[in-house]
Amino acid sequence: MAGPGSDDAPIPPGQWLGLLGGGQLGRMFCMAAQSLGYRVAVLDPGADSPAGSVADRHIHADYLAPAGLARLAALARAATTEFENVPAAALEYLARSARVTPAAASVAIAQDRIREKTFLRDHGFAVVPFAVVGSEREAADVDPALVPGIVKSARLGYDGKGQARVATAAEVVAAFRAMGKVPCVLEKLADLACEVSVIVARSDAGATTTWPVAENRHREGILDVSIVPARVEAALAERAREIATRVAAALDYRGVLCVEMFVTRDGALLVNELAPRPHNSGHYTIDACVTSQFEQQARVLAGLPLGDTRQHEPAVMVNLLGDVWFEGASAAPREPDWTCVLRHPQAKLHLYGKAEPRRGRKMGHVTCLAPTLAGALAVAAAIKRDLGIPGAGEFG
């Protein structure tokens, strides 16, 4: 949304765009924006971040450091973020003089699971039954119908962190204590057929577009693979894209948004979580679609028309975690032999430039393309086997 000191005219290539956050999502945004001719300044406290290493300028500062924010505001005509936990005050500061997408108000809802679940429910979107747990008394008094379930911290949880499965009310109390007695939500476990996500982009003028639905599989709480198009009925996929569009409108959202959903065994769609930024499950768009989620993020930020989101051919995205760098129980990492990936001409390797591999850390991804989904799945399975990634026999 345009700030008081900005206008609604498109920002032409050659100008500076700002980014809060230095992770891999920011890295891919930088590359997409630069390919459109923009210069990008990244504000990030890390000395050697994936985005900072490719940006035209890296402002090495905390997100709320007045001097760093002032430098970014003086340089960039518009600014965005690559992760939802950036302080809202930083976005509000930048919005005084620049276009900021998404707006702080939209991000604030997705930052907090309590606000997020309540917002979705109150706007008529189906969600799993849930309860707010803000005290030990509330934890002890939860509706028995909500267990078995999952206790999730209201803030800062991602990739399976800040979550605990519970089978009884006593376990709810124990989980609440283990999380430091911070505000949480208890979500009832749903009878799931699969999990899907839709990436949606919405402009300042309210123009909206969505990408094909991704079918997502997780391992230990972290996304393992995304299969696109999702192996669901066409009518269900269309409903998922329509739900994502309505969620973006309800938020009055500007930018790229991921809407994660559960598909139950009886065919219902339940909105699970919102990510107010590009998303891991949308990485396939770089290689498989006319316009990637990152180029679209730059287009919205600069006030340009939205790009076409059509998919060229089926794709399977495989996450590369730091585990790939470790052989068995070895404590010493070693660089994988990437020729086992690149020998597949349909595979596109993306590494994020992170210097230190750690187990569970996202280090890159591979997008496997083929004329048929079965072909893309077969390539993905072969690459998983060669790299020692579990689950190669589960599909393909």
Task: Check whether residue 209 and residue 267 sit in a common domain.
Answer: yes
Query: CA 353 to CA 351: how far, in whole Å?
Result: 6
**Domain containing residue 37: CATH number:** 3.40.50.20
Considering the domain boundaries, does residue 396 fall inside one?
Answer: no
Task: Check whether residue 196 and residue 180 sit in a common domain.
Answer: no
CB 215 within 8 A of CB 227: yes
Task: Check whether residue 180 and residue 216 sit in a common domain.
Answer: no
Residue 386 buriedness (CB in 10 A; 0-12 / 13-18 / 19+) = middle
97: left (phi over 0), alpha (psi -120 to 50) or beta: alpha
Task: Check whether residue 242 and residue 315 sit in a common domain.
Answer: yes
Task: Check whether residue 198 and residue 275 sit in a common domain.
Answer: yes
Residue 236, H or E segment: helix 234-250
Considering the domain boundaries, does residue 378 fall inside one?
Answer: yes
- Which tokens hold the place of 162? 């800040």
Considering the domain boundaries, does residue 350 fall inside one?
Answer: yes
Task: Check whether residue 303 and residue 162 sit in a common domain.
Answer: no
Residue with the two structure tokens 């393909």: 396
Residue with the two structure tokens 């109150």: 122
Distances in Å between the Cα of 141 and the Cα atoms of 184, 207, 361 are: 14, 45, 37
Q: Tell me, what's the pLDDT at 160?
A: 56
**Domain containing residue 269: CATH number:** 3.30.470.20
Q: Tell me, what's the pLDDT at 395?
A: 66
Tell me whether the omega of the peptide bond preceding residue 229 falls within 30 degrees of 0, making it cis: yes
Going edge to edge, which strands form the sheet with 163-166? 130-133, 184-188, 149-153, 163-166
Task: Check whether residue 347 and residue 259 sit in a common domain.
Answer: yes
Task: Check whether residue 262 and residue 246 sit in a common domain.
Answer: yes
Q: Mark which of 153, 170, 188 sits at the end of a domain.
A: 188
CB 260 within 8 A of CB 197: yes
Task: Check whether residue 91 and residue 223 sit in a common domain.
Answer: no
Residues 6+ apart with CB under 8 A from 358: 322
Full domain range(s) for residue 73: 16-100
Q: Tell me, what's the pLDDT at 3?
A: 43
Considering the domain boundaries, does residue 325 fall inside one?
Answer: yes
Task: Check whether residue 209 and residue 309 sit in a common domain.
Answer: yes
Considering the domain boundaries, does residue 310 fall inside one?
Answer: yes
Considering the domain boundaries, does residue 117 fall inside one?
Answer: no
Q: Tell me, what's the pLDDT at 331?
A: 74
Query: CA 367 to CA 379: how far, in whole Å?
Result: 10
CB 261 within 8 A of CB 195: yes
Task: Check whether residue 325 and residue 375 sit in a common domain.
Answer: yes
Q: Which residues pair with 208 in a beta bridge?
A: 202
Considering the domain boundaries, does residue 112 fall inside one?
Answer: no
**Domain containing residue 180: CATH number:** 3.30.1490.20
Task: Check whether residue 375 and residue 227 sit in a common domain.
Answer: yes
Domain count, the chain: 3
Residue with the two structure tokens 């396939």: 284
Q: Is the pTM of this model over 0.85?
A: yes
Per-residue pLDDT of the chain (396 residues; tens, 9 = 90+): 444 444 579 999 999 999 999 999 999 999 999 999 999 999 999 888 999 999 999 999 999 999 999 999 999 999 999 988 888 889 999 999 999 999 989 988 988 999 999 999 999 999 999 999 999 999 999 999 999 999 999 986 665 567 899 998 889 999 999 999 999 999 999 999 999 999 999 999 999 999 999 999 999 889 999 999 999 999 999 999 999 999 999 999 999 999 999 999 999 999 999 999 999 999 999 999 999 999 999 999 999 999 999 999 999 999 999 999 997 766 789 999 999 999 999 999 999 999 899 999 999 999 999 999 999 999 999 999 999 999 887 765
Q: Long-range contacts for 96-100 (Cβ within 8 Å, ≥24 apart)? A: 96/3, 96/4, 96/5, 97/3, 97/4, 97/5, 97/6, 97/73, 98/3, 98/5, 98/6, 98/18, 98/73, 99/1, 99/2, 99/3, 99/6, 99/11, 99/204, 99/301, 99/303, 100/1, 100/3
